[in-house]
């Protein structure tokens, strides 16, 4: 059974977490704009193993789960960090990916942005 989440309460929790980490969120490496948070949630059905009561055997059953995905993106150039199911991981990813003055991260940023642009062109 899927537990219902109070969405308004959850959004306030997320906003509070993001606000507490705002100082650590570097602006976009390309255009120096502050990132925005992309948030997706819903329910999904997964087939999972479950023990058959009174035996050592397992059976596969469909169960419904809540999911959340977080990703930070630049509203100016469209650069997107990777999506995560944990808000702290998403914050860390943006922070690391957009670290100024680091050649390694700058090269990775360029590679990822070029890949994103190619995907956008292919989808158009």
Task: Domain ranges for the chain, please list them.
Answer: 7-123
In contact, 93 and 82? CB cutoff 8 Å: yes
**42-72 per-position pLDDT tens digit:** 899 999 899 988 898 999 999 998 889 999 9
- Phi and psi at 89, nearest 5°, equal -65, -40
**16-42 per-position pLDDT tens digit:** 999 999 887 999 999 999 999 999 998
Question: 44 has which bridge partners?
Answer: 65
Nearest 5 degrees, angle CA 13-CA 100-CA 98? 40
**88-112 per-position pLDDT tens digit:** 999 999 999 999 999 999 999 999 9
Q: pTM (2 decimals)?
A: 0.78
């Amino acid at each position: 059974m899927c537990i219902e989440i109070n969405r308004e309460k959850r959004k306030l929790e997320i906003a509070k977490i993001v606000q507490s980490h705002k100082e650590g969120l570097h602006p976009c490496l390309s255009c120096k704009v502050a990132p925005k948070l992309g948030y997706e949630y819903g329910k999904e059905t997964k087939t999972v193993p479950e023990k058959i009561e009174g035996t050592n055997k397992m059976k596969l059953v469909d169960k419904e789960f809540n999911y959340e995905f977080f990703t930070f993106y630049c509203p100016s150039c469209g650069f997107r960090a990777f999506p995560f199911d944990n808000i702290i991981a998403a914050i860390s990813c943006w922070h690391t990916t957009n670290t100024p003055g680091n050649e390694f991260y700058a090269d990775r940023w360029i590679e990822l942005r070029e890949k994103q642009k190619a995907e956008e062109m292919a989808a158009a």
